[in-house]
Amino acid sequence: MHATSEIYLSMHGIFAQSESESLSGNVRMGKAMSAKKGNVSFSYKSFLGYRRGADNQPEIDPEQAEIVRLIFDRYLAGDSLTTIKRFLESRSYPSPTGKSTWSVTTIHSILTNEKYKGDALLQKTYVIDCITHKSKKNDDRPQYYVENNHPPIVSKETFNKVQEEMARRASKRKVKEVGTKTESGKYSGKYALTDMLICRHCGTPYRRCTWSKKGTKKIVWRCISRLDYGKKYCPDSPSVKEESLQNAIVECIRQVIEDESGYAVIEGLKHHISMYFGKDDENSTAEDEARAAELIQTITQAASTGKFTSEMKGME
């Protein structure tokens, strides 16, 4: 409580902070040298898919790796990050930190982490304040990329396809939604044809709508600009029946299967159906497995006979 004591405390505080800054500088320099040598570190407690091996090197954790592959497969199959989040939580898959809840940010981080393809980018971030431990993305310091550092969980081809799909979804033209004052276009994986149909007159995506007349409902796809603003903005865009679109898709599948690469297409369809319905998942329900088996049988019969019926349209 004396002035002399306050001076001593201030001096000790200054010395302590100076020592912390000195230690932080040494640690930062050590990490930079380690990165330059290509030494890759893993935070196993919060990193899904890998564990520390007997030789102190990262090795694949089979159970966790299946979750990682599932995330990549479902994203490429068209699911949004939110849809994947709900799916993982419904199956009670543990998050990287062992929790029962997932965040969209965590899933995005997994999909963009190059370590899952066996590589590593070093010095992505750095600490800018040793007292608050605040860090920032590294945009102005050297970074080092190490290839084939450890066993990959997904192939480089799969990883690169995910990055391309992310870029495609992010580059979607912003479309004003009904009831909003600003543009709010974003990717939606609710329907198979979402973001696949574009108006040839105004370049606006189509939206799935339900027409109801005298108790009869009809599913059609219409230009969003035509829906929101009427004929004044886009007078010539046609409304397309969903059944017509499904018939066209089935015909395309038939033509592809008749080609030499048809077998690979069929196997790919079977794989995605099994994955979507969780056929090989211990948490899948009997209803899911029955639906998957029904669709696979329909595809197999259609491929062997060359005949595609309206049953194929249920695949959407």
**Res 33 pLDDT > 90:** no
**Res 34 pLDDT > 70:** no
User: What pTM did the predictor assign?
Assistant: 0.61
228-250: average pLDDT: 84
- Output the DSSP codes for 74-115: HHHTT--HHHHHHHHHHTT---TTS-S---HHHHHHHHH-GG
pLDDT digits (tens, 9 = 90+) for 88-122: 999 999 999 999 999 999 999 999 999 999 998 88
User: Token match 């060359």: residue?
Assistant: 306
Q: Are 76 and 158 in contact (CB under 8 A)?
A: yes
Buried b / exposed e across 128-157, counting CB within 10 Å, b at 16+? eebeeeeeeeeeeeeebebeebbebbbeee
Q: pLDDT value at position 108?
A: 95
Question: Helices 156-170 and 62-76: crossing angle, nearest 10°?
Answer: 40
4-29: average pLDDT: 74
What would be the CATH architecture of the domain defined by 14-166? Alpha-Beta Complex (3.90)
Q: 3-class DSSP state for residue 217? A: strand
In the chain, % of residues over pLDDT 90:
22
**Res 301 pLDDT > 90:** no
